[in-house]
A = this chain, B = another copy of it.
Amino acid sequence: METVNIVEVGPRDGLQNEARPIALTDKLRLIDQLAEAGEKHIEAGSFVSPKWVPQMAESAQIFNALSRRPGVRYTALTPNVRGAEQALKARADEFAIFTAASESFSQKNINCSIAESLERFAPVMDLARTHHIPVRAYVSCVMGCPYEGAIRPNTVTEVSARLLEMGCYEVSLGDTIGVGTAGSWRALLKQLLQHIPVKNLALHCHDTYGQALANCLVGLDAGIRTFDASVAGLGGCPYAPGASGNLATEDLVYMLAGCGMHTGIELDALISAGNHICAALGRQNASKVAAAHNAQHSARNR
């Protein structure tokens, strides 16, 4: 059985985009339940300025209070060297840095050009190297940008190659607004894989247009073995309020199991973790696998 790695982004990317504030204990319980369900790679917090992302203010507390399970990697988003120093102090296992494949998006999202964002990451990479911390990179808008529209595959390749040269071990290709299809993902991957080894790439598909799982299948067929997902589809889409955002981890795990892939994740426990955090947030579970599971469960108990 081949193994597929899931990077769980619910506790960070997910909760960051939920409107309702959430108690520290609920965040900690979520992270622990995800690890208990068998998730091995969890983005647990973000050391950005709390002025910009108030939901992430407690990241140091989260990393300090975590009950760290052996074999689980707890990642922190580190936008600059100041954030990386805080993440180091909080004993994050991994840094995650982020830039975009769209100049307009980079300017609006992180107030600098793509080139400037890469310069800003140089001291983060130095710090990581000194302390033997692996660094993961996100590239946003690989399939399209809310400001520019279509993005050239060449730009994605250049930015990704540059991040790997700088020392990141993996680039997560983000379809931030979910506009990609099986067709456009195939075209991008065909281009990228001429220049970048498949083992250094991950897919981060959003489900805004319902395409995320089909797009992951395209990646899987192309040899991609790492996928980002968010339990219960936490997160929504900041560019289209009311639309879907992150792919639900449950739905991805269900597909991968059906394709004979090993993830190490126990689906029932994962669904339960998603149900708990949705109850705490007072929102519907956006995973269809969870919805089907919950509907059957309540039918049995009727």
Interface residues of A, Cβ cutoff 8 Å to B: 178, 180-184, 207-211, 213-214, 216-218, 237, 240-244, 248, 251, 254-255, 257-260, 287-289, 291-292, 294-296, 298-299
Contact indicator A183/B292 (Cβ below 8 Å): no
Please state if B209 and A243 are interface contacts (CB–CB under 8 Å). no
In the complex, the answer to whether A255 meets B295 with C-beta atoms within 8 Å is no
Instruction: Determine whether the beta carbon of B295 is less than 8 Å from that of A214.
Output: no
* B242 and A181 contacting across the interface, CB-CB below 8 Å: no
Minimal Cβ-Cβ distance residue in B for A213: B214
A289 contacts across to B, CB distance below 8 A: 209-210
8 nearest A-B residue pairs (beta carbon): A181-B258, A210-B288, A210-B251, A183-B259, A240-B295, A242-B295, A183-B258, A243-B292
Which chain B residue lies CB-closest to A298?
A: B242
The interface residues of chain B lying within 8 Å CB-to-CB of A255 are 181-183, 211, 214
Number of this chain's copies in the complex:
2
Residue of B nearest to A207 (CB): B288
Give, as a whole number of angstroms, the nearest-CB distance from A250 to chain B. 8
| Complex alpha-carbon distance, A292 and B179, angstroms | 10
Across-interface contacts of A213 in B (CB, < 8 A): 210-211, 213-214
* Whole-angstrom distance between the Cβ of A249 and the nearest chain B Cβ: 11
- For A208, give the chain B residue with the smallest CB separation: B292
* B183 close to A254 (CB less than 8 A): no
Q: How far is the CA of A180 from the CA of B257 in the complex (A)?
A: 11
Contact (A209, B254) CB under 8 Å given A214-B214, A214-B217, A299-B240: yes
Residues of B contacting A294 in the complex (Cβ-Cβ under 8 angstroms): 242
The answer on a CB contact under 8 Å between B210 and A259 is: no
Min CB distance A18 to B, Å, is 16
Asked whether, in the complex, the Cβ of B244 is within 8 Å of the Cβ of A181, the reply is: no
Contact across chains for B240 and A292 when beta carbons are under 8 A apart: yes
* Residues of chain B within 8 A of A259, CB atoms compared: 181-183
